[in-house]
Amino acid sequence: MKTIKKAYAYVTRMKDETIQLLVFKHKDVPEAGIQVPKGTVKKDETTYDAVIREVKEETGLEEFEVKKLIAEDEWENEDGAIHHRFFYHIHCTEIADEWEHHPTGGDEEQGLIFQFFWISSESEVELIRGHTDYFTRILS
């Protein structure tokens, strides 16, 4: 089976001297769960470029800094596909506490509305499987 490259963005900010992580839910598709921004790496695209593109497409953010690649692994998705995952730490400043965004990534996202908000610990919400795997490297 072919391995699919995925770029994950742990987008953080500092608020009241606390590190917060950006997460989102689908406004009209609650069964999609709470997630971090991520997406598939395109052919001939680096994972670094992919994570930047995905953050812009999924969040609408334009001003942020890619701090570093914090983890890389291979992971089996529920459908049996093997994902080669790349987790990046991204930092931004002066961001609203909550907002909605229509993702611009393509056909699968057409008509969706993502609702963004910040969390300060893993225990605040339950994210979908695989999205919290490297939280301890960010929220500590």
Q: Give tens-digit pLDDT for 71-124.
A: 999 999 888 899 999 999 999 987 899 999 999 987 777 789 999 999 998 889
User: Where are the chain's structural domains?
Assistant: 3-137
Better-scored residue on pLDDT, 12 or 110 = 12
Query: What's the mean pLDDT when you consider all of the chain?
Result: 93
* Cα separation, 114 vs 2, whole angstroms: 29
Residue 73: half-sphere exposure toward Cβ, Cα within 13 Å: 11
CATH topology of domain 3-137: Nucleoside Triphosphate Pyrophosphohydrolase (3.90.79)
pLDDT in the model for residue 44 = 95
Q: Provide the pLDDT for residue 106.
A: 75
Nearest residue to 64 (alpha-carbon basis) of 75, 51, 77 = 51
Q: What is the mean pLDDT of residues 46-54?
A: 98
